[in-house]
Chain A
Amino acid sequence: MDKVSLVLVSHSKEIADGLKKLLGEMQPEVTIAAAGGEEDGGIGTNAEVIARAVEEVYTEKGTVILFDLGSALLNAELALELAGGKQNVRIADAPMIEGGLAAVVEAGFGSSVEKTAEAAEKAYEMKKIDRS
């Protein structure tokens, strides 16, 4: 596998699954795992669900995690501790949809995990409407 993979962590299973579908349309060559909702599909995030998703798509090249709100970050960090030994994972501080799009495009070029995470984080700066 020569491309960085993505893990999408959302409180909502539908958001994570839907974003995975959307990003897959944009760049089908990047492997993406959705980790949305609780174990039973309810609203929330769960470290074990996230750890499994990371396990599923992790490559030597690296994996970038995108998350939606607050406790998703807590659980993503805990998931990485549980997974252990997976050094090449970055949690991106990014808006999930726009950052996800930027990341999937960057990863599609075969960029490093650092560059992919950075592309996602830069999405904060992107204006959707130019009012200048």
Chain B
Amino acid sequence: MITTGTAKSWMENFKELILENKDELTTLDQAIGDGDHGINMARGVQEMDKMLQEKTFETPGALLKAAAMVFISKIGGASGPLYGSALMKIAAEAGDKAELTDQDLLACLDAGKKAVQQRGRAETGEKTMYDVWDPVVSTFRGEETIDWEALKTTAQQAVKSTVDMHAKKGRAAYLGARSVGHTDPGAFSSRLFFEALADAAQKEN
């Protein structure tokens, strides 16, 4: 069950995880991207946290929509519009429900996954965020309740699977075969996004 409070913890956990892993994200992005993923995400989550402390929200959807707007306006590179679009669609799917069941939440995450795919024009195996979003959502879609530990494991394994992939999107695509052997930074931050959700939901239940 996801309440407005859970949604807030989700975003706060995401902030904490991004800040803890900022240097790791930067290192990963320096290897195959333009090196700004850690800095950009850290800036975005800090701005989001500021907003969350100032405002109050009636529903998870309203909170996540406001978070989406911060990502869109404050994060540069592709990650701003990608996380922003994903959160926007998650919020739209959540609508004005005061609480989301696990099934509702999976429908929301599915909408977010589609947004990542469409906005990024991503397909499976192209070494992007989508390579985490797709397996995580597909594995649990249709289930009555979510096994949060299993979801975290799925996300971790999905990140590992990007190491052997040949990048087809973003700046990493210019590296071609040289991108093989590196973890995709967007996949890594996406794992943190799902981990933050799992931690929030586990605390709630």
Residue positions of A touching B, CB distance < 8 A: 38-39, 42-48, 70-71, 74-75, 77-78, 82
| 16 pairs, CB–CB < 8 Å, chain A vs chain B | A44-B40, A44-B76, A44-B77, A46-B76, A46-B80, A47-B80, A47-B84, A48-B73, A70-B171, A71-B78, A74-B81, A74-B82, A74-B119, A78-B84, A78-B119, A82-B72
Main secondary structure of the interface of A (DSSP, over half): helix
Count of inter-chain pairs, beta carbons less than 8 A: 43
Interface residues on B, range: 10 to 19
In the complex, what distance in Å separates the CA atom of A68 from the CA atom of B72? 19
Q: A47-B84, A71-B81 are in contact. Are A77 and B76 (CB under 8 A)?
A: no
Q: B44: shortest Cβ distance to chain A, in Å?
A: 12
Q: How distant is the Cα of A95 from the Cα of B85 in the complex, in angstroms?
A: 26
Question: Residues on B close to A: CB < 8 A?
Answer: 36, 40, 72-74, 76-78, 80-82, 84-85, 119-120, 169-171
A42, A46, A70, A77: the one contacting B73 at CB < 8 Å is A46
Known: A71-B77, A75-B81, A78-B84. A47 touches B72 (CB 8 A): yes
**8 closest Cβ pairs, A-B complex:** A44-B76, A71-B78, A74-B81, A78-B81, A48-B73, A47-B72, A38-B76, A75-B81
